[in-house]
Chain A
Amino acid sequence: MTVEGPRLFRPGPMLEALEAESVAYIVIGGTAAAIGGARHVTFDLDITPDRNVANLDRLATALRKLNGHLYGMPAAAEDSFQLDGKTLAAGSAWKFLTDHGELDISLDPDGTRGYKDLRSGAIETQAHGVTFLVASLEDVIRSKEAANRPRDREALPELRRTLELKRRRER
C-alpha cells in the first residue's frame, strides 16, 4: 500500500465546490488510483480541468470559495496574483492549499494530452451527491510511467497488478 502525508484531506467539499461552479474536470492521480481499485492513500485531490478559459474562470471561482491559496507563494506577493481563468491557462500545473486540503491542478498531466485525451477513458463516479469523472486506471498508470518520479516508480507495480486483476474480472 502506498501512503503519502498525512495532511488534512477532505475531498468531498472540494468536489461540491467544483460542482457548484459547473467546472468540467477529471480526477486524476492518487485519488483516481484509489477509486480505480488501488490500495492507495493520498492527501491531495489532483484534477485536470478542461482548459477553455471560461471553464478555468469557473475553477478560479471555486478555488476562491474554498479559500484557496497558491502553495509556496509569499503573503506579500499574493496581492499581485490574479486568480482567474487567464492566469490558470498560462501555467500547466498549480498547487492550491484550501480549507479542506490540497487541490492540485494539472492541465497537461505527464504522458497525456490533457482533459480531452483523458475524457475518452474516464469513468463517472458519485460521492457526496456529486457526479464526477475519474481517469481510468490505465491512464493513471500511463501518466505515472511518464512522470517517472521515485514515488511513481514505487506505486507502479501495485497499480499494474491491480489493472491486471481488474481486467481478468472483466473477461
Chain B
Amino acid sequence: MISGDLLREARRRAGLSQAELARRACKPTSVIGRWERDEVKPSFETLRELIEACGFDLRVSLADHDQSQDAAIEASLDLTPEERFARLEAWAAFLAEARKSAA
C-alpha cells in the first residue's frame, strides 16, 4: 500500500474531511490532498504523524516478501465483478454437489 492510499484510508476511517485532518495536523488542506493523490510523498515521519492525527498508530515491521499467490490473484482481477460473482456461485454449487456425492 502506498502512502496516499494509507492516508486516505486512515482519514476515511476516522470520519474526517481533508480540512479537518489539516487542522488537526497543522498542515494546509491543499497539501493533504496532494499527499492523498500521491502527487507528492510525505516523509515517513510526517506520514506517521498524520496517521496519528487520524487516531491510529502506524506500525511497521519486516516480513518475508511473498508473491506466491500473485498470479492467481491477478487472474481473478482480470475478471469483471459480475464474472467473479458468477464464479463464486459456480464454486459454491460445485462444492455443495461434491458434498452431496460424498454423503
Chain A residues in the interface with B (C-beta under 8 A) = 1, 3, 5-12, 31, 34-43, 111, 113, 120-121, 123, 125-127, 134, 138, 142, 157-158, 160-167, 169
Contact = CB atoms under 8 A, between A and B. Distances in A.
Contact of B82 (A6, A40, A126, A160): A126
Contacts of B86: 127
B36 to A, nearest CB: 13
Contact of B91 (A7, A41, A161): A41
A127 B73 contact: no
Contact of A165 (B12, B13, B73, B92): B73
B85 A9 contact: no
Nearest to A112: B13
B94 to A, nearest CB: 9
A161 B69 contact: yes
B88 A42 contact: yes
B72 interface: yes
Given A38-B76, A39-B76, A167-B5, A161 B70 contact: yes
Contacts of A120: 12
Given A6-B92, A31-B88, A42-B88, A36 B69 contact: no
Nearest to A12: B89
Nearest to B5: A167
Contact of A37 (B2, B12, B13, B84): B84
A34 B15 CA distance: 26
Contacts of A142: 9, 13
B84 A35 contact: yes
27 contacts: A5-B92, A5-B95, A6-B98, A9-B89, A9-B92, A10-B92, A11-B92, A34-B84, A34-B85, A37-B73, A37-B79, A38-B73, A39-B72, A42-B92, A43-B95, A120-B12, A125-B81, A125-B82, A127-B85, A142-B9, A157-B66, A160-B1, A161-B66, A162-B76, A165-B74, A165-B77, A167-B5
Listed from nearest, the 10 A-B pairs whose CB atoms lie closest are: A6-B95, A9-B92, A34-B88, A125-B81, A127-B85, A37-B77, A35-B81, A41-B91, A6-B99, A6-B96
Given A162-B77, A164-B1, A43 B13 contact: no
A113 B5 CA distance: 21
Given A11-B89, A163-B1, A36 B98 contact: no
Contacts of A166: 77
Contact of A43 (B15, B72, B81, B92): B92
Nearest to B94: A6
A148 B72 CA distance: 25
